[in-house]
Amino acid sequence: MIGRMGPVVAVLLGLAAQRERYTAACERRDFDSRYLHIQPSLDDSMWRLWGQLSGVDGRVVDKAIQTSVDSLPNNPDSSAAQDRADGLVAVASEWLSGEIGGHELDVEIFIDAGLAAGSSGGRGVSVGTGTRVGPATLAEILCDGTVGVTLFDGTSRTVSATPASRTIPHPIRGYVLHRDGHRCTVAGCGSRTRLQPHHIVAYTDGGTHHPDNLVALCWYHHHVVVHQQGMRLDPDSPPHRRTFLRASPTRAGP
């Protein structure tokens, strides 16, 4: 009988707790206990987040992430937790962008020639902050931003360096978004937010910045589907109903 009363007791205790006064001092206590830690792994390839927020602030963050998730295309291959991770990154990306046209990265890339050549870009490549990047992330950086590359040998002697250059000029970026109706061109999507130009034939595979080789993709299809999940656009799919093909498991071109 006592075991069956457990749920009832829990409800009564909850109701009693709700009757306790929640004073200004309680609010200040909860607010002052807020924190957020974000910590990279030793090789900077992954990040771990944890913390706590006051009730209202927690609701705000939760709703913002969920609203972001709801605006992203449905991906049957991802879990709810992965969707929320994508939603959080999308919120941060949009905040940094300053405009619907998507964000532009300003990145310095450092390449150890020997390590990179012997591993197809899997080793020896990092950005200016020291963060290690792999081929897929490198392809995404080259696809969307202002990039300077410094090549050096194993003794840290500089072999060559390029001045920072915009991979896709502003006029071409603007024209591609205008031509595609300021919508994501993936079939069934049509999102108008976080749009970014994308190369149909990868720039590293000889593709050019000509508008005919560029399409507008939303942040989700560009960042998640292409560069992180390894898909590539089907070049034979209709211009405003683009579909995907499985790319090589080792790379996803810009």
Taking CA atoms, 94 is separated from 81, 87, 182, in Å, by 20, 11, 16
Q: Are 47 and 38 in contact (CB under 8 A)?
A: yes
Q: Which secondary-structure segment (H or E) carries 109? A: strand 105-112
Q: What is the pLDDT of residue 4?
A: 60
Q: What is the pLDDT of residue 122?
A: 61
Q: What is the pLDDT of residue 191?
A: 87
Q: What is the pLDDT of residue 158?
A: 61
Q: What is the pLDDT of residue 88?
A: 93
Q: Are 230 and 247 in contact (CB under 8 A)?
A: yes
Q: Are 50 and 137 in contact (CB under 8 A)?
A: no
Q: What is the pLDDT of residue 251?
A: 43
Q: Are 194 and 182 in contact (CB under 8 A)?
A: no
Angle of the 80-97 helix axis to the 55-71 helix axis, nearest 10: 90
- What is the token pair recorded at 7? 């749920």
Rg (CA), the chain: 23
Give one DSSP letter per residue of 144-198, joined into a string. SEEEEEEEE-TT--EEEE---EESS-HHHHHHHHHHTTTS--BTTT---SSEEEE
Torsion of CA 118, 130, 254, 100, to 10 degrees: 180
Residue 71 CB burial class (10 angstroms; 0-12, 13-18, ≥19): middle
Q: What is the pLDDT of residue 186?
A: 95
Average pLDDT of each block of 10 consecutive residues along the chain (254 residues)?
59 56 75 90 86 87 91 85 92 66 60 70 67 70 68 64 66 90 92 86 80 91 84 90 75 46
Q: What is the pLDDT of residue 102?
A: 43
* Side chain identity at residue 58, one-letter code: G
Q: What is the pLDDT of residue 29?
A: 85
